[in-house]
């Protein structure tokens, strides 16, 4: 295919990368720790791990899994916790022992957790005790044999850790009662592992590194099988994309998105490989505490999604934290960035939001904007090295430049398939291309733009309306805090556009909002139903608005005049 986007690559970025440079994530981990031993690798809540300490602790945990639990290469270890220092130790320890990591959302219901543990076949789990009660409820119905529990303050400095654990448990009452017979404390596991020798486990590109579950909001969650090849390839690709602008061993990277999510996981690994200091934020929804943490470090990179950047911009104290102008890169993924947010962010921080695109099934990075852009482009950027992207119709035929179709991907970062689901895997591919389920187009320069999710598209009298476009316009009104656009049934046109709005200005009226929309949207795209809500819109764990849930809740609406 004609990769016209290569003509837009910044100088020095090659069309292809060497994915065979490293055999596994374990090899990358060990080489990085050896190269940056005395530098800080991770910090969180006043605690920190140097690369040397992380190397030692991960080795102890790997030895515990291998020598004490007798776990064999390819067995699955689940991890269920927010961003804490325990997370990288457990993850890298599992990988060093040759295991497959199964990342679990701590906010899972008992039903969701049971499904994931049974589907993955996980035989051990590391869980923050705040969520152990959920595990207790389903444990007997899963293949899990060993439960390793940890507390929030376990790896903080001694006195601070003790106080933190007491406050979490007895003051904030964040740990529901639980009892799991034979549960092992994480610190005890590390101590036990330190008394054993780790036997190196040969690993290759074909070994499975992660089972990353996806699709839970639309049906039964499926495990994307991400091999070491997939992950190493994406690290090589993304590292090449950012290398010119980043300095090895010097970047301070804020990670507020949870490590159990593929975007945060891979971005963290990319910057880990560069010897960066990764600042883990445990609860980014506590904005005052989050901003307080930002004020402590001269961060150069921050990862987020549109809703998080929007929340920061509207929070007291953020302007001061961002005013030091040390920021080099603000990377936005996971959902579309709204123009109003991008413009305000750039004006305040002096750095544009660099929007990219990816999916769980692609490890995840597929496209990105060049880091040297002067302002937000409104696109998801260009395919990164060793990646092909095409716009296909339902029959798998490539569509011309500028025409909307399904975004499809080929590249070494694309998953092997869905775990134990051959039929689902077959449906996900067409002619060797992975079908993303996202609609979009390529412009004449080779930049790609998402119009919307295929399933979220609104059909008004035969015309396609993409919610992102409507939301982007509504968000430019100064009286709007949040908005989501969904389809609502209509006898005449099949569907009409409905918007659910959280007001910044309590005096904002339906008519004022519609006048604004009519200035910028053609008639069939203008909302016909406006619903105001006082509570924040429902979101996923990384901040994506749950349009599906809003459609289900589509009651108490107010017809537009």
What tens digit of pLDDT does each residue of 479-497 get?
Answer: 999 999 999 998 777 889 9
Last residue of a domain, one of 453, 469, 499: 453
| Count of structural domains within the chain | 3
Q: Would you say residue 43 lies in a domain?
A: no
CATH code (residue 199): 3.40.50.980
CATH code (residue 511): 3.30.300.30
Q: Are residues 515 and 400 in the same domain?
A: no
Q: Are residues 500 and 442 in the same domain?
A: no
Q: Would you say residue 96 lies in a domain?
A: yes
- Give the least confident one: 5-9, 421-425, 446-450, 451-455: 451-455
Q: Are residues 435 and 554 in the same domain?
A: no
Last residue of a domain, one of 151, 178, 203: 203
Q: Would you say residue 136 lies in a domain?
A: yes
Q: Are residues 527 and 447 in the same domain?
A: no
Q: Would you say residue 264 lies in a domain?
A: no
Last residue of a domain, one of 143, 170, 203: 203
Q: Would you say residue 314 lies in a domain?
A: no
Q: Are residues 436 and 469 in the same domain?
A: no
How confident is the model over 127-151, as pLDDT tens digits? 999 999 999 999 999 999 999 999 9
How confident is the model over 356-407, as pLDDT tens digits? 999 999 999 999 999 999 888 999 999 999 999 999 999 999 999 999 999 9
The model's pTM: 0.87
Contact 193, 94 (CB under 8 A): no
Q: What is the pLDDT of residue 219?
A: 53
pLDDT, mean of residues 489-506: 91
Q: Would you say residue 523 lies in a domain?
A: yes
Q: Are residues 197 and 52 in the same domain?
A: yes
Q: Would you say residue 503 lies in a domain?
A: yes
Q: What is the pLDDT of residue 215?
A: 65
From CA 241, how far away is CA 10, in angstroms rounded? 9
Q: What is the pLDDT of residue 540?
A: 87
From CA 556, how far away is CA 561, in angstroms rounded? 16
Q: Are residues 462 and 445 in the same domain?
A: no
Whether the pLDDT of residue 256 is over 70: the answer is yes
Distance (Å) of CA 554 to CA 327, 348, 500: 41, 36, 9
Sign of CA dihedral 513, 518, 519, 525: positive
CATH code (residue 429): 2.30.38.10
Q: Are residues 442 and 462 in the same domain?
A: no
Q: Are residues 534 and 434 in the same domain?
A: no
The model's confidence at residue 556, banded by pLDDT at 50, 70 and 90, is very low
In the DSSP assignment, the letter for residue 361 is G
What backbone torsions phi and psi does residue 267 show, to the nearest 5 degrees? Answer: -60, -40
Q: What is the pLDDT of residue 335?
A: 77
- The angle formed by the CA atoms of residues 321, 325 and 328, to the nearest 5 degrees, is 110
Q: Are residues 495 and 536 in the same domain?
A: yes
Tokens of 358: 């990816």
Q: What is the pLDDT of residue 218?
A: 41
Structural domain including 63 reads: 48-203
Q: What is the pLDDT of residue 217?
A: 36
Of the candidates 77, 76, 74, the one whose C-alpha atom is nearest the C-alpha of residue 86 is: 77
pLDDT, mean of residues 255-264: 95
Starting at the edge strand that comes first in sequence, how are the strands of the sheet with 76-80 ordered? 184-185, 146-150, 124-128, 76-80, 100-103, 208-214, 222-227, 417-418
Q: Would you say residue 102 lies in a domain?
A: yes
Q: What is the pLDDT of residue 33?
A: 98
How confident is the model over 514-555, as pLDDT tens digits? 999 999 988 889 999 999 999 999 998 888 899 989 988 874
Percentage of the chain exceeding pLDDT 90:
84
Q: Are residues 477 and 509 in the same domain?
A: yes
pLDDT, averaged across the chain: 94
From CA 422, how far away is CA 402, in angstroms rounded? 34
Contact 92, 54 (CB under 8 A): yes
Q: Are residues 129 and 88 in the same domain?
A: yes
């Amino acid at each position: 295919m004609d990769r016209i986007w290569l003509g837009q690559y910044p100088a020095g970025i090659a069309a292809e990368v060497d994915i065979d440079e490293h055999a596994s994530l374990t090899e990358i981990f060990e080489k990085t720790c050896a190269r940056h031993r005395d530098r800080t690798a991770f910090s969180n809540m006043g605690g920190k791990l140097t690369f040397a300490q992380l190397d030692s602790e991960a080795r102890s945990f790997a030895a515990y899994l291998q020598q004490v639990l007798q776990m064999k290469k390819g067995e699955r270890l689940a991890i269920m916790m927010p961003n804490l220092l325990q997370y990288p130790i457990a993850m890298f320890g599992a990988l060093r022992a040759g295991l497959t990591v199964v990342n679990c959302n701590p906010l899972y219901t008992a039903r969701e957790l049971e499904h994931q543990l049974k589907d993955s076949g996980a035989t051990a789990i590391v869980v923050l005790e705040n969520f152990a009660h959920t595990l207790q409820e389903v444990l007997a119905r899963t293949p899990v044999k060993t439960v390793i529990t940890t507390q929030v303050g376990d790896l903080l400095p001694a006195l601070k850790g003790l106080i933190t654990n007491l406050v979490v448990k007895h003051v904030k009452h964040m740990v529901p009662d639980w009892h799991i017979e034979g549960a092992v404390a994480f610190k005890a596991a590390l101590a036990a592992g330190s008394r054993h020798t780790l036997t190196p486990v040969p690993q290759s590109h074909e070994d499975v590194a992660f089972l990353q579950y996806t699709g839970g909001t639309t049906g039964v969650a499926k495990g994307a099988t991400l091999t070491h090849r997939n992950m190493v390839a994406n690290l090589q690709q993304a590292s090449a994309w950012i290398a010119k602008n980043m300095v090895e061993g010097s970047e301070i990277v804020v990670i507020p998105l949870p490590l159990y999510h593929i975007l945060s996981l891979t971005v963290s690994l990319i910057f880990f490989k560069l010897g960066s200091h990764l600042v883990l934020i445990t609860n980014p929804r506590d904005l005052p505490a989050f901003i307080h943490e930002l004020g402590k470090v001269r961060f150069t990179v921050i990862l987020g999604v549109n809703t998080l950047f929007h929340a920061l911009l509207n929070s007291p104290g953020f302007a001061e934290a961002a005013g030091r102008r040390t920021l080099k890169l603000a990377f936005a993924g996971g959902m579309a960035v709204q123009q109003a947010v991008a413009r305000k962010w750039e004006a305040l921080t002096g750095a544009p939001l660099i929007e990219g695109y990816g999916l769980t099934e692609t490890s995840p990075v597929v496209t990105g904007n060049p880091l040297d852009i002067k302002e937000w482009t409104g696109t998801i950027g260009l395919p990164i090295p060793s990646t092909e992207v095409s716009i296909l119709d339902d029959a798998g035929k490539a569509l011309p430049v500028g025409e909307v179709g399904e975004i499809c991907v080929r590249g070494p970062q694309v998953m092997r398939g869905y775990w134990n689901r051959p039929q689902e895997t077959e449906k996900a591919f067409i002619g060797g291309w992975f079908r993303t389920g996202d609609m979009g187009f390529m412009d004449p320069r080779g930049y790609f733009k998402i119009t919307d999710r295929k399933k979220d598209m609104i059909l008004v009298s035969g015309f396609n309306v993409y919610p992102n476009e409507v939301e982007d316009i509504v968000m430019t009104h100064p009286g709007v805090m949040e908005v989501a656009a969904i389809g609502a049934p209509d006898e005449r046109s099949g569907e009409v556009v409905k918007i659910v709005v959280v007001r910044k200005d309590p005096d904002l009226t339906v008519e004022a909002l519609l006048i604004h929309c009519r200035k910028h949207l053609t008639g069939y795209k203008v909302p016909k139903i406006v619903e105001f809500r006082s509570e924040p819109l429902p979101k996923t764990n990384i901040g994506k608005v749950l349009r599906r849930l809003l459609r289900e809740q589509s009651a108490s609406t107010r017809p537009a005049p």
